[in-house]
Structure 1
Amino acid sequence: MKTRIVSIFALAAVLTSCDINKTESGEMPEVDVEVEAESGDLPEYDVDWMDVDVSTTTKMVEVPKLVVVMEEEEVEVPVIDFDMPGEKAERTLTVETEISGNDMNLEIQQVRATRNKLYVIATLEDSDMDLEGKTVRKQDQVMINAPQLDVEYVIVGERPERIFNDNNRYFTTMADLDEDIANAKVIYED
Structure 2
Amino acid sequence: MSIRFLPFLLFFTFALSSCDVDQTQEGELPEVDVDVDTEPGQAPAYDVDWVDVEVNTTTRMVEVPNVTVEMVEEPVEVPVLDVEWPDEYGDAEETTFMVEADVDQEASLEIEEIYTTGNRMIVLARLDKDGQKLNDGQMMRVSDQVVVNAPDMDVRYYIVGDRPAGITNSRYRYISDRSEIADMMANGQSIYSRD
TM band (smaller chain) = 0.5 to 0.7
In the alignment, does 2:123 pair up with 1:120? yes
Higher relative contact order (CA 8 A, sep 6+): 2
In the alignment, does 2:158 pair up with 1:154? yes
Q: Which residue of 2 aligns with 1:131?
A: 134
Q: Which residue of 2 aligns with 1:88?
A: 92
Pairwise CA distance, 1:64:
6.8
Q: Which residue of 2 aligns with 1:142?
A: 146
Counterparts of 2:115 and 2:108, CA distance in 1 = 21
Q: 105, 108, 111: which is aligned to 2:114?
A: 111
Pairwise CA distance, 1:177:
2.3
Counterparts of 1:74 and 1:63, CA distance in 2 = 33
TM-score, structure 1 length as denominator? 0.63
SS of the equivalent of 1:128 reads: coil
CA contact (8 A) 1:89 1:147 kept: yes
* Aligned CA distance change for structure 1 residues 62 and 131 (closer, same or farther; 3 Å): closer
Extract structure 1 runs of 4+ deviating beyond 6 A: none
SS of the equivalent of 2:140 reads: strand
Q: Which residue of 2 aligns with 1:19?
A: none
In the alignment, does 2:138 pair up with 1:172? no
Counterparts of 2:64 and 2:177, CA distance in 1 = 34
CA contact (8 A) 1:67 1:137 kept: no
SS of the equivalent of 2:67 reads: coil
- Cα RMSD for the two superposed structures: 2.3
Pairwise CA distance, 1:72:
1.7
CA contact (8 A) 1:117 1:151 kept: yes
Counterparts of 1:162 and 1:181, CA distance in 2 = 29
Structure 1 or 2: more strand by fraction? 1
1:8-87 equivalences in 2 (<5 Å): 59=60, 65-84=66-85, 85=87, 86-87=90-91
Runs of 5+ unmatched residues, structure 1: 1-56
* Structure showing greater Rg: 2
Aligned sequence identity (%):
41
CA contact (8 A) 2:103 2:142 kept: yes
CA contact (8 A) 1:70 1:137 kept: no
TM-score, structure 2 length as denominator? 0.61
Give the residue type in structure 2 aligned to 1:140: D
Give the residue type in structure 2 aligned to 1:79: V
